[in-house]
């Protein structure tokens, strides 16, 4: 699988021909008002900066597979993510939910060597944590065991769930790539759909972990 090719555009260069009386900060978010004038929204800027620092604090190690894993390869991770994407579609989960529990997997694997036989267990347990975090009435643990064709017991799912939460220090809320797409696409809404496709490619390719959203 080839490395993702990420193209970034400098906002100030895009609007360099416009008669603006101020310089656009790097973290600025632009909004077009009814008069087609660009105004900085302080609340969105603060939200962007907060999300940026929070994501940086909770990012997985970009090269954890080479450093921390003996039995898990980039290909195995890609297979797991591809499978979980299909499960998420069948369960009608939101894309940000998918991004969130994949981040749990990467954060856990950053410092915990895992046998490949337990990789799917880690995946469904991460999905269970996300469902508890985002839903009042989350699916029972038995349903997550069913997703693995009952390859794992309820006790095993609950045990690794506790291990994941301990590793995450119960910091289960975290910005994802879709969080930042929401900001970026305010500037260029035409790039939204292509960006959504790109973020799924980044999700599968572990090389994308080296790139900040």
95 and 188 housed in the same domain: no
Which tens digits make up the pLDDT trace of 154-210? 999 999 999 999 999 998 888 777 777 766 666 555 555 566 556 666 666 666 666
More confident site: 109 or 29: 109
> Taking a C-beta distance cutoff of 8 angstroms, is the pair 107, 68 a contact?
no
Predicted local distance difference test score (pLDDT) of residue 161: 94
Residue 4 domain-assigned (yes or no): no
28 and 83 housed in the same domain: no
Predicted local distance difference test score (pLDDT) of residue 30: 41
Domain membership of residue 77 as a residue range: 64-168
Tell me how many domains the chain contains. 2
Residues 31-51, mean pLDDT to the nearest whole number: 54
70 and 24 housed in the same domain: no
Predicted local distance difference test score (pLDDT) of residue 54: 73
> Taking a C-beta distance cutoff of 8 angstroms, is the pair 211, 4 a contact?
yes
Greatest distance between any 2 Cα atoms in the chain: 64
151 and 96 housed in the same domain: yes
pTM of the predicted model as reported, rounded to 2 decimal places: 0.66
**In the block, which residue shows the tokens 């998918």?**
98
Q: How confident is the model at residue 212 (pLDDT cuts 50, 70, 90)?
A: low
């Amino acid at each position: 699988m080839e490395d993702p090719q990420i193209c970034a555009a400098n906002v100030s260069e895009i609007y360099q021909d416009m008669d603006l009386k101020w310089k656009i900060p790097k973290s600025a978010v632009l909004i077009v008002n009814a008069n087609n004038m660009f105004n900085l929204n302080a609340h969105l800027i603060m939200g962007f900066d907060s999300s940026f620092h929070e994501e940086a604090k909770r990012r997985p190690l970009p090269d954890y597979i080479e450093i921390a894993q003996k039995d898990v390869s980039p290909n195995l991770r890609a297979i797991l993510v591809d499978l979980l994407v299909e499960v998420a579609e069948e369960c009608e989960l939101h894309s940000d939910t998918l991004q969130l529990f994949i981040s749990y997997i990467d954060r856990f694997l950053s410092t915990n060597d895992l046998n490949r036989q337990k990789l799917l267990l880690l995946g469904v347990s991460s999905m269970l944590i996300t469902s508890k975090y985002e839903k009042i009435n989350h699916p029972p643990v038995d349903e997550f065991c069913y997703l693995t064709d009952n390859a794992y017991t309820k006790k095993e799912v609950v045990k690794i769930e506790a291990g994941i939460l301990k590793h995450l220090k119960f910091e289960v809320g975290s910005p994802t790539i879709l969080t930042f797409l929401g900001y970026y696409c305010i500037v260029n809404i035409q790039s939204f759909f292509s960006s959504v496709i790109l973020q799924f490619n980044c999700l599968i390719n572990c090389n994308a972990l080296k790139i900040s959203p």
